[in-house]
């Protein structure tokens, strides 16, 4: 069985993340989406909310598990006996950090091979940071995230849905 871990803060999960997940389903028998606590990033949404939004986004999809973690990703590689760490690359600017992280993960755990997928063109510009900024100012993010994620952001920022 080919198993991969797709780690991320997912603050919040976007259609770009979901694009990577859908494409990874064709490559792996099982995909573990690992929602990172990552307090260094000071997430907008708490860990339980982010996990719940990810679960709702992939509900009914076979071969996908959702978990949370706090600590080193390479520990999850061992826990789940994963064959790969899956990461998305949007632009060349992402590569330097991702390259360093992949090499460090491999140094810490030889099983930790990293595989990169690029999102489809229609999602390449989407980032969770941009989504949060738009939502914070009352803008519509419905084209960039699942509906339940937009609702959660509106509730977080105290904005009513358009036309409400």
User: Backbone dihedral region of 107: left (phi > 0), alpha (psi from -120 to 50 degrees) or beta?
Assistant: alpha
Residue whose tokens read 């390449």: 124
Alpha helices in the chain (DSSP H): 15-25, 47-58, 73-79, 92-108, 128-136, 147-157
Is 140 an active-site residue? Answer: no
Is 156 an active-site residue? Answer: no
Neighbours of 97 (CB within 10 A): 9
* Residue of 57, 87, 128, 132 marked catalytic: 128
Q: Give residue 22's Cα distance to chain centre.
A: 12
Is 90 an active-site residue? Answer: yes
Is 128 an active-site residue? Answer: yes
* Residue of 41, 59, 120, 140 marked catalytic: 41
Q: Kindly list the catalytic residues.
A: 17, 41, 90, 128
């Amino acid at each position: 069985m080919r198993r991969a871990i797709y780690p991320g803060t997912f603050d919040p999960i976007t259609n770009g993340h979901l694009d990577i997940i859908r494409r990874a389903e064709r490559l792996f028998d099982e995909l573990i989406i690992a929602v990172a606590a990552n307090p260094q990033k000071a997430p907008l949404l708490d860990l339980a909310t982010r996990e719940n939004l990810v679960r709702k986004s992939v509900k009914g999809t076979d071969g996908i598990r959702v978990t949370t973690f706090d600590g080193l990703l390479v520990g999850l590689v061992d826990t789940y006996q994963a064959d790969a760490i899956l990461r998305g690359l949007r632009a060349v600017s992402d590569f330097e950090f991702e390259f360093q992280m992949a090499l460090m993960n491999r140094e810490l755990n030889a099983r930790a091979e990293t595989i990169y997928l690029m999102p489809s063109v229609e999602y390449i510009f989407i980032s969770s940071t941009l989504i949060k900024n738009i939502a914070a100012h009352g803008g519509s993010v419905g084209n960039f995230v699942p509906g339940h994620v937009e609702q959660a952001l509106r509730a977080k920022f105290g904005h009513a849905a358009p036309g409400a």
